[in-house]
Structure 1
Amino acid sequence: MKRVRQLASRAYERLLEWELSGTPSHVAVIQDGNRRYARNNGDDATDGHRAGAQTTEQVLEWCQEVGVDELTLYTFSTENFDRPEEENEALFDLLCEKLREFADADRVHDSEVRIRAIGETHRLPDRVREAVEYAERRTAGYDQLHLNIALAYGGRAELLSAARDVAREVDEGALDPDAIDVETVEERLYRGPSRDVDLIVRTGGDERTSNFLPWHANGNEAAVYFCTPYWPEFRKVDFLRSIRTYEHREESWRKTRARRALALVKALGDAEVGEARRVLSRFKDALPSAERQAIEEETDAELEHPAD
């Protein structure tokens, strides 16, 4: 039966791969469930984190296979500092080991993976910061796949820090309040993701994004995929399902844009809807055939009876 399940799982993987037609550029993962996985197996929390590290390596390979450009892993949050010291110290040792191992791995250099840490890394122990600097230095020249490790990261703290920086510069007269825009805020966020997040994946059964990349993900209306397996149990099938969720979200977004544009075209005069027409032309193929036909009929009617 185990052999049959393995064959069925591989067949399902191939089916999902065949069905996929698009890939998110930036995937962010909340790696939840390492400790619960260990507890269920009668192991220590460290054993769960080590099993989770193996899953991380597999996910990196899967991202490369489907063409993801950037992967961000929620590895250690600011709230995790409240966990027992002995547990965190063991996790810090594992982080040091894996960061240096990744930085020296042939597969990382062959695939030109760039490793970066994001978050309040100054709060981490010296040995972890040294391992981070080593990994970043060893992979600094690469650009094929960006791997961001979120360490001592908190989304609210990131936004609060950026807001304080902006307020201080305004108070000092170094920044004009009327000149504040999206770029002003982004320049003051943690050094980190180079792209907006397209897809958030969370394992472990909880359906929340836990203060993760609020500017890059929520502002981009990222698709979200929640699944029940603990992080060490996360399989390629689960990963491919998450990509399918992104595709469905993207399809829904395209339909919404097209329908909004069509409503504007119908409601407003020619001089006011140039952008709406461009959006409609770009996204009309996302609509069902009946709606596309309505658009074509609307266009034909306008050509026969142009607006005064």
Structure 2
Amino acid sequence: MTFNEGMRIDTSTTSTSGGGGRGPGRGLAVGGGVGGLLIVVVALLLGVDPSSVLSQQDNPYAGSGVEAPGFDLSQCRTGADANEIVQCRVVATGNSLDGVWAQHMQGYTRPHVRLFTDYVDTGCGGATSDVGPFYCPADQTAYFDTGFFDVLRDQFGSSGGPLAQEYVVAHEFGHHIQNLQGTLGRAQQGAQGATGAGVRTELQADCYAGVWAHYATITKQEGTDVPFLNPLTDQDIADALSAAAAVGDDRIQKQATGRVNPESWTHGSSEQRQKWFTTGYQTGDPNKCDTFAVPDLG
């Protein structure tokens, strides 16, 4: 999937840093990527409370007040830049998500996007790049170290196509939708594991990512009156599905520990993640994403 070269990138809700910060904050971030999943899986296997993972990352800048320089956002101007520069692609994807959800959710407000390298201080605590992309409800910010996309491709076998990366951004924005709906807190309530609230929350975010993909090529940007993205191809959809499969709990556990333990799942299996993205993409209906209403997620 490529961006329409005529679209204009809005960086007003994006910030960047190269590492640094003030130290741990409060709250629990959700939607961690491959690194975050591995950490949570290991924490569960060792009997550690995974809610403490983000705030316990090592921060070489902690307490120093020093923040290393981040990516230069002035490079992100048009859809052409999004097609060439991965950081600009993240920002442009966020613009597209804002455009879609503003039309399909009453009262939608834009989240903040933070591009970082190595380490970032958040309202949910400090986090290293190992955690992967995540959303922090405390500061309504989606955090991305774009080096994660290389890990996703090189270590976990995902396609390196644009929609594989854009799916990740759309998933984290899905958590923002849940936060606005007041449902994100359900992730920590009740039973956990393969049929628990945490997995249902993550699969719903996958479904919301699919809803975005359904509308992204027909939603026009205000001010330019051009669609954010060019029409999807079969390869684009394959790219997104490959990313969804790559971050399935069963696949990650198998690679990390050599075995699969559904009782410690946090995000759902590869098959489930593909299914719910596809549900959102095919229907374009956020109401079809109510993973809490179905007994069988699979």
Q: Which of the pair is proportionally richer in helix?
A: 1
Q: TM-score range by the shorter chain?
A: under 0.3
Calculate the TM-score normalised by the size of structure 2: 0.28
